[in-house]
Amino acid sequence: MLDFMDKEKEKITTAIPVLPLRDVVVFPHMIVPLFVGREKSIAALQSAMKYEKGIFLVAQKNAKKDEPAEDDIYRIGTIGIIIQLLRLPDRTVKVLVEGRARGIIKKYLPNEDYFLAEVEEVPVVADPDAMKTEALMRSIKEAFDIYLKLSRKVHVEIASTVAAMDDPSKFADVVVSNVNVKLEDRQIILEIINVNDRLEAIYALIVAENEILQVEEKIKRRVK
C-alpha cells in the first residue's frame, strides 16, 4: 500500500502519484478544476483516489509534449489532495484539486501505469526581517489593488480576502495565483522558498504587469 499525505496530520510520507500539468502551475492554498485526458494521468488520479487522495501536481516544461518523460517535468510542484473526481462521457476526467504544500521530487519509482515518485515536503522559510516582510506585503496589496482595477478579469472580492491575510507565505501564493503571468514566471515563484524573496519577485511581476495594462489602456483611449 502506498503512503500519502495524512490530511489530519499534514504529514508527507514516501510514494505519491505524479500528475504532470500543461499550461498551469498549482500553488498551495489553491483549489483548481482540471480536465485530464491522458491515460497515465487518469491512472495517477485513480490511484490517488484509492490511497487517501494524495497527488503531486507539477508542471511540464513543454506543454506541447503529449507523452512527457521524467526529464520533461519540473522537480518542484505542489502536494495536493483530490476534492472531487468526475468521469465524463468522452472518457476524460474532471478533477477538483486543492494544493496543500510545496514538494520536491527526490526520485522516480518504477511504475508502468503512471508516474510515481518519492516526494519530500519543502518547508516554508520565514525571513527574520519581519519589518521588511510587512513592508513588502503592504506594497503588494497596493499594487494588487491597481492590478484588479486595470485588468477587470479577476473577481474584486479577492481584494478583501488578500487584505485580511496575515500569513506571508499564503498571502504570496494566493496573490500570484490571481495575477496573469507566464507559466515560467509562476514556476519561478513556486520554487522560491524564502518568503521575502518570493514577495519581492511577486511585487516585481505585478508592477510590470500593471505597466503593460496601463499602456494598453492608453492605446485603447487613443483608438477611440
Domain residue extents for the chain = 15-121, 130-223
- Predicted TM-score (pTM) of this structure: 0.88
Q: pLDDT of 174-192, one tens digit each? A: 999 999 999 999 999 999 9
Q: Are 16 and 54 in contact (CB under 8 A)?
A: yes
Q: Which residue has the higher pLDDT, 2 or 114?
A: 114
- Average pLDDT for residues 93-121, to the nearest whole number? 94
Return the sign of the alpha-carbon dihedral for residues 76, 77, 81, 86: negative
Provide the grid cell at 59.
508542471
Under CATH, which number does the domain 15-121 receive?
A: 2.30.130.40
Looking at residue 218, its pLDDT comes to 86
Q: Domain 130-223 belongs to what topology?
A: Methane Monooxygenase Hydroxylase; Chain G, domain 1 (1.20.58)
Q: What is the rounded average pLDDT of the residues 75-82?
A: 95
Q: Spell 188-208 as b/e; 16+ CB within 10 A means b.
A: ebbbbeebbebbbbbbebbee
How does residue 126 score in pLDDT terms, banded at 50, 70 and 90? confident
pLDDT at 53: 61
